[in-house]
């Protein structure tokens, strides 16, 4: 039996009732994801560019854990600096949230609007010594969230699209493969992003995350998006039905900061 899920009794609205240690998912005041209102975001000119010290990695474990496709990277190999981070954070894994409703598979929204999917790069603060220790602190994790949109004009991020297409090799819940990923060449946007204090978007929903949500979506191919749709859920059926995203949570007076003038954000459908 799955410990949590995205439908019926295991759906996000019930997570706080499924496990005593997950009550914060209902009672917390810093839960994620959120809807980012560009009219309420505050520009902070002191926010510097992000510095991805990511490398090529030949020993990445690509896993279908029944909740999401997850790439677990080699420990100690990749770090993140810059932004509002005061010291180095180490990359642990990245994963994707999506659904069969191509217009809404992401977790965060912008002014109530959705992108097709959302990829999360999860880092922990190195000075805390481990991921397990870091989740006990409000600044323990730094998660870079990038929206994914499907394009058919040939301008997709070819490397990321190719890596996502490998998900057809791990369709079954619990299956895995060792793959090589050249994270150094991902070259995600560095200058324009939103940031706020929040939580993990899966149980136990610990309020330990500095969220960094990139403004510019990353484009992927239709073939890559379709590869996600073949993955099986630990609940039975497909992960994409209804999807593996948590709905947006109340902001409870938190301030969302931006590294740029949010009034200049490019609208999307």
Helix, coil or strand: residue 112 = coil
- H helices of the chain, where? 15-18, 24-27, 131-134, 158-165, 222-228
Distance of CA 104 to the CA centre of its chain: 14
Taking phi first (over 0 means left), then psi (-120 to 50 degrees means alpha), and beta for anything else, what does residue 3 get? alpha
Q: How far apart are CA 258 and CA 106, in angstroms?
A: 20
Sign of CA dihedral 31, 35, 39, 43: positive
Q: What is the DSSP secondary structure assignment for residue 234, as one 8-state letter?
A: T
Of 77, 75, 85, the C-alpha closest to 182 is: 77
Count Cβ atoms below 10 Å from residue 209 Cβ, excluding itself: 27
- Write down the catalytic residue from 67, 95, 120, 123: 67
Whole-number Å distance between alpha carbons of 179 and 100 = 25
CB atoms within 10 A of CB 247: 12
Does residue 202 contact residue 264 with C-beta atoms inside 8 Å? no
Bridge partners, 210 (sequence order):
142, 197
Contact 95, 68 (CB under 8 A): yes
For residue 97, indicate whether it is catalytic: no
Give catalytic residues, as residue numbers.
Answer: 67
């Amino acid at each position: 039996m799955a410990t949590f899920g995205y439908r019926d009794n295991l759906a996000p609205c019930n997570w706080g009732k499924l496990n005593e240690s997950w009550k914060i998912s209902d009672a917390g005041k810093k839960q994620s994801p959120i809807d980012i209102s560009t009219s309420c975001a505050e520009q902070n000119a002191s926010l510097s560019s992000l510095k991805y010290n990511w490398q090529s990695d030949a020993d990445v474990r690509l896993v279908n854990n029944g909740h999401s496709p997850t790439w677990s990277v080699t420990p100690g190999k990749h770090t993140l600096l810059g932004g509002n981070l005061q010291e180095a954070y180490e990359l642990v894994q990245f994963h994707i949230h999506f659904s069969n409703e191509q217009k809404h598979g992401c977790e965060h929204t912008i002014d109530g609007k959705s992108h097709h999917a959302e990829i999360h790069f999860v880092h922990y603060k190195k000075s805390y010594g481990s991921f397990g220790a870091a989740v006990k602190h409000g600044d323990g994790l730094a998660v870079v969230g990038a929206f994914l949109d499907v394009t058919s004009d040939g301008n997709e991020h070819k490397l990321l699209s190719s890596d996502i297409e490998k998900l057809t090799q791990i369709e079954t819940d619990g299956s895995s493969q060792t793959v090589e990923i050249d994270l150094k060449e991902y070259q995600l946007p560095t200058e324009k992003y939103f940031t706020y204090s929040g939580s993990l978007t899966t149980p136990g929903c610990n309020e330990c995350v500095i969220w960094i949500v990139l403004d510019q979506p990353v484009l992927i191919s239709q073939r890559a998006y379709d590869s996600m749709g073949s993955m099986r859920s630990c609940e039975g059926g497909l992960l994409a039905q209804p999807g593996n995203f948590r709905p947006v949570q109340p902001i409870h007076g938190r301030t969302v900061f931006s590294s740029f003038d949010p009034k200049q954000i490019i609208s999307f459908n």
